[in-house]
Structure 1
Amino acid sequence: MTTKYEVVVVIVPFPAQGHLNQLLHLSSLISSYNIPVHYVSTKTHTRQAKIRAYGLSNSNNIHFHEFSTPSFQSPPPNPNSNIKFPSHLQPSFESSYHLRNPVSSLLRSLSSTARRVVVVHDSLMAYVVQDFTSLPNAESYNFHSVSAFTIFLFLWEAMGKPFPIEAEMLENLPSLEGCFSPEFEKFVKSEHEYSKFSSGKIYNTSRVFEGPFLDYLSKEQISKGKQQWALGPFNPVSISGSIQQRHKSLTWLDKQGPKSVIFVSFGTTTSFSDEQIKEIAIGLEQSQQKFIWVLRDADKENVFSKDFTKKIELPKGFEERVKERGIVVRDWAPQLEILAHTSTGGFLSHCGWNSCMESISMGVPLAAWPMHSDQPRNTVLITKILKVGSVIKDWARRDELVKSSKIEKVVRILMASQEGEEMRKRAEELSVGVNKAVGEGGVTKDGFDSFIAHITRGI
């Protein structure tokens, strides 16, 4: 950066897998416009994001800044906790406060060599980037990692319901009770204070299926006149043959019939009790459907740590009995590639927003089993509004064990019924719409061009 006639973008993700992943993909998309991008995190989290990301075409144009934070005690995941929120990661979340000084130094340095510094920060990292306000040529944009539906309802309720909305949106709406730990709720509130300095908002979603909620978010009472852009999905929407060695799950999928396999994965922050794992195993076995089951514990603070990890036990003889129609994956699985595979016909998921976006963009319907955070309300969007999924576990009964009979029933509905076929058809139609939207002249591509034009205005 030797010229004053440049815009540089600084990306500051929240240190949790779903957030790291989304903003790394956004970095890649922005850098494709020949804009220098600086991705800021810790060494561990940057490595985690890179290793787990699929299809990063422009990562060579991204400058990675790996700052250190003081060490801290990190408890293991607790599979028997009443609240499924990953409280064991809270020390890591709070440790991110220590990034404020190094980020401030980086912004000052870039400010002296670039004409404009654009900070795109996770909504949970507003505290860390707050010093951009002292720089005359810096501006920030608040990135929301959840659905427009979920963030709109959260803001609308918090503001005392400032305008009427369609009644059906509020039918069977899950409460926020049990979604977060008290410590995390406090953390979110403190971050909210610093978000008011931003110049606009970015969402990893698409107008193709969240247009009405994006319109609600743009209303003056909520937007306060700030611009917003829906730039998702950030993940690649088409998958080409991987040049790396293919994962064993993909080789196995190659041998299965079209849309015959249900992919079972509960994200990076879910820990199940032994009893619940047994019920899932029995339900999958009794469903008689083909499956890939990713069976791994929740991420620890450092996913590369060599600490002892308990092997999750399955019912005796389970893997032998199902070997003709199912496989269990105990390591990291290439989720996007599995969802894109022609043999995958359904996704049993926790409904984290990354998983929802990837599933919709690949045209795969979902069996929804929300665990915490935005997932209960994402479930409503997926099953009641978009009608591309069915519910395994109702949020009102979140404390109950889900029996194998329920799992068997929902898996059969999704994979072997007319109802499931209709969901699959709707999911495929949304996928076609999303693919068109990211292409030349599409609403997402136009939105991206608009965002780039905005941050490079006058330059």
Structure 2
Amino acid sequence: MYYKLEIYHHFQKHPNPQISLAKMESQNSNLKQLPPVAVVIVPLPAQGHLNQLLHLSHLITSYDIPVHYAGSTTHNRQAKLRLHGRDTQSLTKIHFHDFQLPPYHSPPPSVDISAPSPEHFTALFEASTHLREPISQLLHQLAQKFNRVVVIHDNLMAYVVQDVKLISNAKAFTFIPISAFSMFSYSWESIPEEVKLLQLDSEEIPDNIPTHEGCATKEMLEFATKQIECLGFESGWIYNTSRAIEGRYVTLLDKLYSSKSQIKHFAIGPFHPVNIENKSSENRHQCLKWLDEQEKCSVIYVSFGSSTSFTDEQIEELANGLERSEVKFLWVLRRADPNDVFEEADRVKKAQLPKGYEDRVKDRGMIVKDWAPQLEILAHPSTGGFMSHCGWNSCMESMSMGVPVAAWPMHSDQPRNAVLLSEVLRIGILVRDWAHRGEVVKSSTIENVVKTLMVTEEGKEMKKRAAELGESVRGSVAEGGVSCLERDSFIAYISG
């Protein structure tokens, strides 16, 4: 979610001259008799991170490799409850380890202030560092039962899993929860100019990169810095992306770090399912039934993720802009998640619409005030556009479904993701330039953006490019596709 500009790689060795050759041979012999490999997944307790790694867990279990998903009791429950695009029965294939976090000060989110980042998560993230001891115990236990233990951890959970260095038959892989484009741009900015000249041609460097200013609070940056400084023990980086989307930037990252370390880069996304069936059943969400009644590509889906709250003033402008556009819309209107979505939800002030609004738009608009099945919405044939905060989950889901984006970034890596969509891939349009992030976006601007995306020739060209990219992404995870082959390569690497 938040990233320091410099990334340190301090690979450490732990020789133990006291172990005799005979004892080492005995240990190796015992290991050979054990099952080959188990994977331990350690996510950051925030929805976008939980979701990506839960989907990755499903991918790995499809190779008949046991997966252990280790996190807090509350956030494991949250991840399972919000899983979409998969049969919930598939969760039985994953071993969930529920650990308790210590008490922490958890004020309700600043729901009436459009903060530059979700400040209320700071206390939760700090509390999550206390997972180090129970996860270390879990790793040691599994190391006695498997020939090899592979830890895949969020890059902001590096402190928690660092004891993997002490386990001779364990390896760690760092999950990069942002785009390769964003990761490359952060990395590129952190290295000296003289090194840049030796590494890459200037033509390979992306232009128009938004500033870091306003992307995160001081406290969040300090937390991220502590985590990143713990890195250096990992064998590779895993990205929820496809070379069909970001092959250039995965290659550049490999080129940038090849002189420093032997870290391998695996682009094995998208992690989520890309073939979503539009099944008719009584259990389907009401919004999907509403979409069934709309024309193909006629609806813009509006959602800003789980970590963003709008002011009442901005909600009113957005509501008026959608109404005046005369474009059909499905709007998920909710406040940012609290730290505990089960215990603290009642403390979060509900978002308020203008009086009489829902009655006025009932013939062409639907408003959902709770969690919605985003993958199914984006995969629905009636969905023709997506107004989004550009969290990486949402970006990957929209690209895989071939849906163009009205990009409205809020914090973290989102401004750079918006540039990737709008300027590099040209499958989106900016709602608001990052330089004007502190301003309320007026209804007239929203109206114009929606119309441009949904009904103009410019929008049709974006839709065409998005549809072509969607086909490429879905093809990349099909048998023989570039992501499928890279997944196979990763599984072979951790199993060998």
Moved more, 437-446 or 310-319: 310-319
Partner of 1:422: 461
Separation of aligned partners in 2, 1:111 and 1:228 = 25
1:74 pairs with 2:106: yes
Pick closer, same or farther for the CA change 1:241–1:221 going to 2, 3 Å.
Answer: closer
**Among candidates 336, 340, 344, match of residue 298 of structure 1:** 336
Separation of aligned partners in 2, 1:166 and 1:255 = 50
Partner of 1:211: 247
Separation of aligned partners in 2, 1:3 and 1:64 = 26
Separation of aligned partners in 2, 1:425 and 1:219 = 32
Deviation at 1:312, TM superposition (A): 1.6
Partner of 1:229: 266
AA aligned to 1:19 is H
Aligned residues: 457
AA aligned to 1:389 is G
Secondary structure of the 1:131 match is helix
AA aligned to 2:399 is I
Secondary structure of the 1:337 match is helix
**Among candidates 445, 458, 475, match of residue 406 of structure 1:** 445
Contact 2:331 2:367 in 1 (8 A): yes
Partner of 2:422: 383
**Among candidates 79, 85, 100, match of residue 49 of structure 1:** 79
1:160 pairs with 2:192: yes
Separation of aligned partners in 1, 2:294 and 2:215 = 37
Moved more, 294-303 or 163-172: 163-172
Separation of aligned partners in 2, 1:271 and 1:229 = 34
Secondary structure of the 2:134 match is helix
Separation of aligned partners in 2, 1:453 and 1:165 = 33
Pick closer, same or farther for the CA change 1:263–1:82 going to 2, 3 Å.
Answer: closer
Partner of 1:118: 150
Q: CA RMSD in A?
A: 1.6
Pick closer, same or farther for the CA change 1:82–1:61 going to 2, 3 Å.
Answer: closer
Moved more, 264-273 or 164-173: 164-173
Pick closer, same or farther for the CA change 1:28–1:221 going to 2, 3 Å.
Answer: closer
1:229-253 CA-partner distances (Å, limit 9, x unpaired):
0010011101024567011100000
**Among candidates 314, 339, 364, match of residue 276 of structure 1:** 314
Separation of aligned partners in 2, 1:173 and 1:220 = 18
Contact 2:331 2:366 in 1 (8 A): yes
Separation of aligned partners in 2, 1:169 and 1:420 = 27
1:150 pairs with 2:182: yes
Superposition pairs of residues 318-357 of structure 1, within 5 angstroms: 318-357=357-396
Secondary structure of the 1:63 match is strand
Q: TM-score, normalised by structure 2?
A: 0.90
Partner of 1:360: 399
Separation of aligned partners in 2, 1:226 and 1:309 = 43
Contact 1:267 1:352 in 2 (8 A): yes
Find the structure with the greater CA-based Rg: 2
Partner of 2:217: 181
AA aligned to 2:489 is S
1:394-422 CA-partner distances (Å, limit 9, x unpaired):
00000111000000000000011111111
AA aligned to 1:210 is E
**Among candidates 248, 264, 268, match of residue 286 of structure 2:** 248
1:33-82 CA-partner distances (Å, limit 9, x unpaired):
00010000111101110111113454222100000011212111214546
Separation of aligned partners in 1, 2:192 and 2:453 = 38
Partner of 1:135: 167
Superposition pairs of residues 27-42 of structure 1, within 5 angstroms: 27-42=57-72
AA aligned to 2:374 is Q
1:450 pairs with 2:482: no
AA aligned to 2:235 is S
Contact 2:278 2:380 in 1 (8 A): no
Separation of aligned partners in 1, 2:285 and 2:319 = 22
Separation of aligned partners in 2, 1:122 and 1:206 = 18
Separation of aligned partners in 2, 1:78 and 1:321 = 30
Partner of 2:347: 308
Contact 1:85 1:180 in 2 (8 A): yes
Deviation at 1:97, TM superposition (A): 0.5
Separation of aligned partners in 1, 2:392 and 2:43 = 15
Moved more, 447-456 or 303-312: 303-312
Contact 1:83 1:179 in 2 (8 A): no
Deviation at 1:21, TM superposition (A): 0.2
Contact 1:84 1:270 in 2 (8 A): no
Q: Which runs of 5+ in 1 are unaligned?
A: none
Percent identical residues: 54
Q: Which runs of 5+ in 2 are unaligned?
A: 1-30
Contact 1:38 1:64 in 2 (8 A): yes
Pick closer, same or farther for the CA change 1:195–1:344 going to 2, 3 Å.
Answer: same
Pick closer, same or farther for the CA change 1:288–1:241 going to 2, 3 Å.
Answer: closer
Separation of aligned partners in 2, 1:185 and 1:212 = 28
